[in-house]
Chain A
């Protein structure tokens, strides 16, 4: 790839909680690095509490990372003064999860979206209305909805407005933080369709955060699986969600509800995501992993598999050295 990525995250760290015991693992993001190319839709999967929302908020600059770099269109967020930051926010936008609170209840849709256009001068004055009608069409809203207030809209319509607001800024990247998980399946299908068509038409990059593997599989071309602040597996979605290598990804996939249930036993995890169970420097999944091993007490290396598939698991590292065992695709070891 010659063009530089839209978003480039390097060793991003953001921890919460007890600062007096820095050795204990806290919720948050722990040294995550990844890129999002122009026009790409990248999924970020994980259970609640795994740090995916924190990562998203850091990327749009709503939270300050403790360490690491977030580079958007070749600009490091940390290097921006508060005043520059305000104008720079145009480049990266976010859509939140909860339709009840994502819109200002005292503002009509038009006013709420217009301020984004005004603040970033994306539309010449006086042309806001015309542009907004275009945007409304794009996200599947009726023109009448522009003059409504949030309580007059349904959950799905509010999420569409939130998407419209993000689009009005004309960003290069939109972070979608569980945009459909509070919606009914039927409405979710509508919004997902809209997002997919929209992406094709506008070409904006998406970072799609979700706990639902089926939704991510539907909309994303590349996925990252996050567990306790670390990315444990990433790669093209057909590979990661079709032939997962990491036991955690396998368990997530097996647990996903299906219309036609998969026969046979499912690989499953022990217990729940608990931070306290993880010791410093060990594989974060160890406490729950059905295949955990003495060796998992040290952090596994990231194994590079073909087609940009990367896995942080000892099993994959072994498979890479001993030849393919559980992995169908031929693999080669990449020195760390």
Chain B
């Protein structure tokens, strides 16, 4: 069953700013299977977008990829080779961002933009006809949107147009970076449902980046939870939600208000980037109520347990 399409191994990224070097992504690994909706969750600043962008060769300036490799459709490349990654992945990967209106060209009609994306994909078929098909795929009526400029449509519709552009290249992998943050709940749900359907029907893999666990809960099968540039827990979503092991995962779940059974919220204390810098440690130690001196001494290794990998010394030695 493990038909792995895309995998990241040991990705490590430093930011170099004002002559100061900081490790902002620390040895993360994950693998996404064909046709899977994969969740990547963490607070803002935890490095989830940065690592995904770097994994497709789009590390922002000021960032330096230190180590790690990325494999896509069986071909592995070192992550340091950003240009090579871009070349290798540009055909098979599309991106979807938070601010869809910002991603669209304000001076061009939406149908022209989708058509342009199709032309750039370089397929032989008639792009005109394809545009109509793509609009239908993303659930928009082509006739209503022909000749419309991005400012004339709503945020949800813009996100769908951006999606049509992203689908034009028939990607095997879509990276959706908080695609629903700017949308209303009702539209948000529709979009998520649509993403889930894409995975099922088109065998497309999607990495859904979110800061709210409740967004990934319904449609993702597996997920990774990131904190301060480290993966703290990853594995099957149902298992993790039913019995979260890492204190951070527990904290995230306890912080989400529940519509159906209101309960007291237990907020996480502190910020993502606090605590001592420049040492090998569990980067959650400064917020963790179970922290021991061991946590400050080294980065906890991945521990396979109950169908997931958890990075926490609490689970290091299980009594027989």
- Chain A residues engaging chain B, CB cutoff 8 angstroms: 47-48, 154, 184-190, 192-193, 211-215, 217-218, 241, 251-253, 255-262, 266, 268-269, 272-274
Q: Does A184 contact B256, Cβ atoms closer than 8 Å?
A: no
B residues bordering A, Cβ < 8 Å?
A: 43-44, 154, 156-157, 184-190, 211-215, 217-218, 241, 251-260, 262, 264-269, 271
Per the bound structure, the CA–CA distance linking A145 and B241 in Å amounts to 36
| Residue contacts A-B, CB under 8 angstroms, 11 given | A47-B186, A185-B212, A189-B255, A190-B269, A214-B256, A253-B259, A257-B217, A257-B218, A266-B189, A268-B190, A272-B184
Given contacts A190-B267, A262-B260, contact A256 B185 (CB under 8 A): yes
Partner of B257, one of A190, A217, A252: A217
Chain A residues in 8 Å Cβ range of B217: 257-261
Known: A184-B44, A189-B265, A192-B265. A255 touches B255 (CB 8 A): no
**A187 vs B45: C-alpha distance when bound (angstroms):** 13
The reply to whether B267 and A193 form a contact with Cβ atoms under 8 Å apart is yes
Q: Which residue of A lies closest to B264 (CB)?
A: A193
Q: Name the contact of B259 in the complex, choosing from A48, A258, A269, A272 (C-beta under 8 A).
A: A258
Q: Which residues of A contact B156 (CB under 8 A)?
A: 272
- Do A255 and B185 form a contact, CB below 8 Å, given A186-B255, A214-B258, A217-B257? yes
Chain B residue, CB-CB nearest to A261: B218
| Further pairs besides A186-B268, A190-B269, A259-B217: 12, Cβ < 8 Å | A47-B185, A187-B43, A193-B264, A217-B258, A217-B262, A251-B186, A253-B259, A256-B259, A257-B217, A258-B217, A272-B154, A272-B186
Q: Is the CB of B256 within 8 A of A193?
A: no
Q: Is the Cβ of A268 less than 8 Å from the Cβ of B186?
A: yes
Picked from B43, B185, B255, B262, the residue with its CB within 8 Å of the CB of A252 is B185
Please pick, from B185, B241, B260, the residue contacting A211 in the complex, using a CB distance under 8 A: B185
Contacts known (A260-B217, A261-B217); A185 close to B185, Cβ less than 8 A: no
Given contacts A47-B184, A257-B212, contact A217 B259 (CB under 8 A): yes
Can you name the residue of chain A whose Cβ is closest to the Cβ of B154? A272
A189-B266 contact, Cβ under 8 Å, with A257-B212, A258-B218: yes
Most buried by A among B156, B187, B267, B268: B267
Q: Given A241-B259, A259-B253, A262-B260, decide whether A211 and B184 contact each other with a Cβ distance below 8 A.
A: yes
Scoring A185, A218, A260, A261 by chain B CB atoms within 10 A of each residue's CB, the highest score goes to A185
**How many Å from the CB of B303 to the closest CB on chain A?**
24
Closest to A50 in B: B184
A85 to chain B, nearest CB (A): 34
Q: Which 10 A-B pairs have the closest CB atoms?
A: A189-B255, A189-B267, A257-B214, A190-B267, A214-B257, A261-B218, A47-B184, A186-B268, A189-B265, A218-B257
Q: Are A185 and B271 in contact (CB under 8 A)?
A: no
* Contact of B211 with A258 in the complex, beta carbons under 8 Å: no
Give Cα distance in the complex from A250 to B158, angstroms.
Answer: 26
Contact of A269 among B186, B257, B268 (CB under 8 A): B186
Contact, CB under 8 Å: A255 / B188: yes
When distances are taken between beta carbons in the complex, the residues of chain A under 8 Å from B187 are: 272
Query: Which residue of the partner chain A has the closest CB to B183?
Result: A48
- Is the Cβ of A252 less than 8 Å from the Cβ of B186? yes
- Measured in the bound complex, the distance between the Cα atoms of B241 and A186 in whole Å is 17
Residues of A near B252 (CB, < 8 A) are: 185-186
B213 partner, pick from A185, A253, A262, beta carbons under 8 A: A185
Determine how close the nearest CB of chain B comes to the CB of A171; give it in whole angstroms.
25
Closest beta carbon of chain B to A109's beta carbon, Å:
18
Q: Identify A272's interface contact among B157, B241, B254, B262, CB under 8 A.
A: B157
Residues of chain A within 8 A (CB-CB) of B212 are: 185, 257
In the bound complex, CA of A214 to CA of B260 (Å): 8
Q: Which residues of B contact A262 (CB under 8 A)?
A: 260
Question: B255 touching A259 by the CB < 8 A rule?
Answer: no
Residues of A within 8 A of B266 (CB): 189
B265 partner, pick from A193, A241, A253, A256, beta carbons under 8 A: A193
Asked if residues B256 and A259 are in contact (CB atoms below 8 Å), the reply is yes
Contact B218 A212 (CB under 8 A): no
A269: chain B residues within 8 A (beta carbon): 186
Chain B residues within 8 Å of A272, by CB: 154, 156-157, 184, 186-187
CA distance A326 to B187 in the complex (A): 26
Q: How far is the CA of A296 from the CA of B40 in the complex (A)?
A: 44
B44–chain A nearest beta-carbon distance, Å: 5
B157, A255: Cβ atoms closer than 8 Å: no
Closest to B258 in A: A214
CB neighbours of B257 from chain A (8 A): 189, 192, 212, 214-215, 217-218
Considering the chains assembled together, what is the distance between the CA atoms of A188 and B255 in angstroms? 8
Contacts of B262 in A (CB 8 A): 217-218
Complex Cα gap A277–B12 (Å): 51
Q: Are A259 and B214 in contact (CB under 8 A)?
A: yes
Contact B211 A255 (CB under 8 A): no
Residue in chain B with minimal CB distance to A192:
B265
CB distance from A43 to the nearest CB of B (A): 12
Bound Cα distance from A252 to B186, whole angstroms: 6
